[in-house]
Structure 1
């Protein structure tokens, strides 16, 4: 077969996961793609960096992915990075409370699709009657039909309609659902909360399995993506931010970079965070009315990750979720990266130290706290969880704050989100 010359060109704005996957798809459709990213690396908020004191590769935040995220795993297969993500054969999530109790949300494989039933019936942090109530809510979600009212109702209110007590909401539903959306249940739409139950908890086999990266995020997302896109012939403009989109009547003709350089293209696709897109549109001859919804009303929620180093492992499991604490999850980072210690292990004075990561979602209340205040408060929480007074004194600590980590899926926010299409023919 004769090779066909590629004549269609596309520019993708933004080198996060959305931008990378968009560039991959456009390339596979036959476009010559140019990807523009303001940072000098790909990956967006999913990146790692070399931390010098102590010397270790750490992430901007500990990430996990559920098995129901099938498009993400197809993306990993495409860029040949699936080998860097690990999960157990079945769902088995450890949970701890602040009184020293421990339990596992574990599926019984041969009972699928009621694989969570035995585990839920033994959930120790609430009464037996309340456990039956959880099963009732799961059944209600299974038969719930999507409707417009659910987009404007909070998941908290939907749970109350399903006769869930405040204690059950706090000690079960918040523990399970809040980390997924990085928000309180009163700020998550019922539509999104029920979708999570259907797709993840009650979905296909393996949908609720938890996957975590065994190397730094840059090594399992950013660098493989950069290598793949370069290999297939995409042009990467790293360290170049977009200033404006150039318009020609009812079409766009290209973009102008912040250094003044103009790139022309047949189509332009924005995968920018909404605040960045608002800035670019403001610099362009493109009114917000050309974009559906009202992206100026979308809001973000923050995450804080607390890296702590100790002289011994914090726990046996690779990660656990926490009941009744502002700490959502605890990750045994040293154990998670055990197969890749050449890059991730940390040695100080010829002695090994063990790294744990605390994840605190919806963390607006803690963003103004200084380093010492955060370390003191959350190490005290660890003392409560593990009943170990030595945890109050880590060898070293590092705080990473992400003020705009995720978009809030608030009730009513669906109408603010833009469609993929705009009123301009070739701007998406």
Structure 2
């Protein structure tokens, strides 16, 4: 850029002028600088005034863009003069000794000017990476200068300052999105993200009740949390006292971020602010925390997640939240793993490979749903209501009553027509024993445990057998009692909310799309589909790289394997203990049958029904998912659990057996013309939930490599192979990352 005369720059007020003092008092800086000694505080006052003045130049609504560019270029010359000893005609004369005394880099100061220059001309940012460049100049470069004034010298301090700068600026952008658009005509959020959520710039004029805007703002919140948590991991323990001002500023902005989230991202024209009392509380809290030992955290870095099922998606999203930069690898063209959708070419239907019921006790999975903002993709049934039909056409419901727990289930049992009075008494007594601590013995089957507690034949038939098959994909006779106990404890004998039921309103793959990729891209991560892992190459007990089916080599600091046990075992080292265990895990099958017909089989508000005394276990009405081209048609998904005996049969044989069962249970079935049927066999749908299987399930930290952790519904979570077990395993694996840190090595510098 051509030089311009320094005289083109108006004389700026000195740092002790009334104007400068008043500007600082109105900012959060006034509270943070109180933690500094006098010399550093005065230096920060000068530096803050420099930042404010150059920012005001770019924001001046009365100044033509050409004049703004000239003024900012003059400031570049002023900065250069500070390093060459040239004459400074403005505040730069005060800045020069600060530069000298604290060894401020010229590149950082110029980056600040370059950053505010990007505000000239109403620039837009297409991607996250484009926006990150802007944030580096207006925030991260400010942090790089500040930590030198604070006296920090740790080798990691620049990365910490850059990261915290991103956290503060991304929060600032989210907080001011309405104000920036209304007052300045500026939009800082990436255009690609806006398009993905169906948001236009005009929506920012009043986004208060705009659901698309709220979904976009939730993603922005995730990005901010990523950088706040990354900064926490980068914080050198030896620099905590020097960084008091930065920690206080971070506490202010993160509290603002939390207030935005607490208001469900309903942003208005009134900027979210912290009252003076709250600021004082945060200063006090931050100073008090400085007296406590810093929690041991692994340094942030790159992560690769193997497998894009629910465990993999949860792991990648949580890694991003925790400050890592994850890449999610999936061998197929879609996400979801063993809970995915498939396309039926003859009809154009999107069908799920199986049906999954989510319960309110699925806290790990629902945490993922909340984080991705995808709750609207599920229909919630506030209380337990499970309908059953008998071969004689008699319907009954296990429905929780409108009373507090545990009475809600008691009322439901007494209204469940499939049970006799004797059955209800036995179940109630059993529930009381469980609440008093009755647990099964290790290696005990579910049937023997229930018989031990005097469960009647009727209770076994109408309640426990259907429940066990649905939850464990294993009959009572061979099912693991411990897994059944844990499932019953969390769901049936939990709170009213724990027994709520959620059903997906969209295809299973659509549940996680496009949010998973959008969220990972928003922090610099990625999703890579059609990328199968062929080989794992390790050195000194650590994975050095993985080779893909495309011949690529992918490296990362840490890895989380979220592959099914059937896929992982071929990648494990021969002869390793974990390979032997994983190879011994038996599988259990599930068969899903999709029917498109012209007749309504049943009508129940839940949209599904269980079949008592039948090899067919559940029928789900999925008609609501049909497109308009199938108006007048009905779509059903039929589920056969514990289906190993069905696997050898051909589709025609299965359909013949199915038709016979439908005729037994639904009077309208004989009149239905089935226009399309599709049988989907999943041989390895779940692990076989038997007592002997428990000893083969590995812990999350049982991988044969020091930088790899295991996740999946099949690892040792204490739960059967459910989507809750999959999500829970991911959180367990990520918690184990920090638990494995050796502080003497991690923070040796």
- TM-score, normalised to structure 2's length? 0.53
Among 593, 596, 599, which residue is 1:309 paired with?
596
Q: Distance in 1 between matches of 2:427 and 2:681?
A: 34
SS of structure 1 residue aligned to 2:698: coil
Give 1:167 deviation, angstroms: 4.0
Residue of structure 1 equivalent to 2:560: 269
Residue of structure 2 equivalent to 1:23: 316
Residue of structure 2 equivalent to 1:280: 571
How big is each residue's C-alpha offset from its partner over 1:305-344, in whole Å with a ceiling of 9 and x where there is no partner?
Answer: 1111221321111111111111111111114x3xxxxxx3
SS of structure 2 residue aligned to 1:30: coil
Residue of structure 1 equivalent to 2:163: 4
Residue of structure 1 equivalent to 2:275: none
SS of structure 2 residue aligned to 1:186: coil
Residue of structure 2 equivalent to 1:329: 618
Runs of at least 5 residues in structure 1 that lack an aligned partner in the other structure: 338-343
Cα distance change on mapping 1:56 and 1:214 into 2, 3 Å: same
Partners of 1:55 and 1:346 within 8 A in 2: no
Residue of structure 2 equivalent to 1:77: 370
Residue of structure 2 equivalent to 1:355: 635
Answer with 1 or 2: which has the greater Rg.
2
Q: Distance in 2 between matches of 1:292 and 1:281?
A: 6
Give 1:374 deviation, angstroms: 1.2
Runs of at least 5 residues in structure 2 that lack an aligned partner in the other structure: 1-138, 141-161, 165-229, 231-299, 710-749
How big is each residue's C-alpha offset from its partner over 1:3-62, in whole Å with a ceiling of 9 and x where there is no partner?
Answer: 329761111111111011111111122212122211122111222133233232211112
Q: Distance in 2 between matches of 1:75 and 1:417?
A: 24
1:205 paired to 2:496: yes
Q: Distance in 2 between matches of 1:276 and 1:171?
A: 37
Give 1:224 deviation, angstroms: 2.5
Q: Distance in 1 between matches of 2:373 and 2:442?
A: 37
Partners of 2:601 and 2:668 within 8 A in 1: no
Q: Distance in 2 between matches of 1:66 and 1:79?
A: 18
Residue of structure 2 equivalent to 1:378: 658
SS of structure 1 residue aligned to 2:356: coil
Partners of 1:200 and 1:207 within 8 A in 2: yes
Q: Distance in 2 between matches of 1:205 and 1:142?
A: 16
1:415 paired to 2:702: no
SS of structure 1 residue aligned to 2:491: helix
Partners of 2:601 and 2:669 within 8 A in 1: no
Among 578, 582, 587, which residue is 1:300 paired with?
587
Give 1:386 deviation, angstroms: 1.8
Give 1:409 deviation, angstroms: 1.9
Partners of 2:360 and 2:500 within 8 A in 1: yes
1:39 paired to 2:321: no
Partners of 1:156 and 1:185 within 8 A in 2: yes
Cα distance change on mapping 1:296 and 1:107 into 2, 3 Å: same
**Superposed, which structure 2 residues align to 1:104-115 within 5 Å?**
104-115=397-408
Partners of 1:293 and 1:418 within 8 A in 2: no
Q: Which has the higher helix share?
A: 2
Does 96-105 or 202-211 show the bigger shift?
A: 202-211
SS of structure 2 residue aligned to 1:272: coil
Give 1:389 deviation, angstroms: 5.3
**Superposed, which structure 2 residues align to 1:29-428 within 5 Å?**
29-144=322-437, 146=439, 150-282=441-573, 287-289=575-577, 291=578, 294-317=581-604, 318-335=607-624, 337=625, 344-345=626-627, 347=629, 352-388=632-668, 390-391=670-671, 393-422=673-702, 424-428=705-709
Q: Distance in 2 between matches of 1:166 and 1:12?
A: 46
Number of matched pairs: 413
SS of structure 2 residue aligned to 1:164: coil
SS of structure 2 residue aligned to 1:153: coil
Give 1:253 deviation, angstroms: 1.7
Q: Distance in 2 between matches of 1:214 and 1:389?
A: 25
Q: Distance in 2 between matches of 1:195 and 1:113?
A: 16
TM-align CA RMSD:
2.1
Q: Distance in 2 between matches of 1:190 and 1:315?
A: 34
Q: Which runs of 4+ in 1 moved over 4 A?
A: none
